[in-house]
Amino acid sequence: MEQEHLIFFYGSDCPHCRKIEGHLERLEKDEKIKVTRLEVWENHENEEKMVALDKMGCGGVPYLINMKSKKAICGEATYSEVKLWAQG
């Protein structure tokens, strides 16, 4: 099930982003929740989108935003935190 309201902004080769990616893979497998992934270090358009949506002043990656609940995660998080974020 595609849920375009869940967005994960990440950087290629970002070690913190890789930890979040592991949580997202588990979330997709266990909860059938899909998260849109947008790479920002090499994609200027995605970077501009992240900057426009970054209301909490994260200023970097990993950055996750739930467009429905307006909840965001800046930086590393546990699986439980990511699951709560995705569920709104």
Q: How far apart are CA 69 and CA 59, in angstroms?
A: 20
Q: Does residue 4 have a pLDDT over 90?
A: no
Q: What is the mean pLDDT of residues 61-87?
A: 96
Q: What is the mean pLDDT of residues 43-62?
A: 94
The pTM score is 0.93
Sheet strands side by side (includes 6-10): 36-39, 6-10, 63-66, 72-74
Q: Does residue 7 have a pLDDT over 80?
A: yes
Chain CA centroid to CA 25, Å? 12
Computed over every residue of the chain, the mean pLDDT equals: 93
Q: Residue 56: what pLDDT? A: 81
Handedness of CA 39, 17, 49, 25 (dihedral sign): positive
Q: Does residue 3 have a pLDDT over 80?
A: no
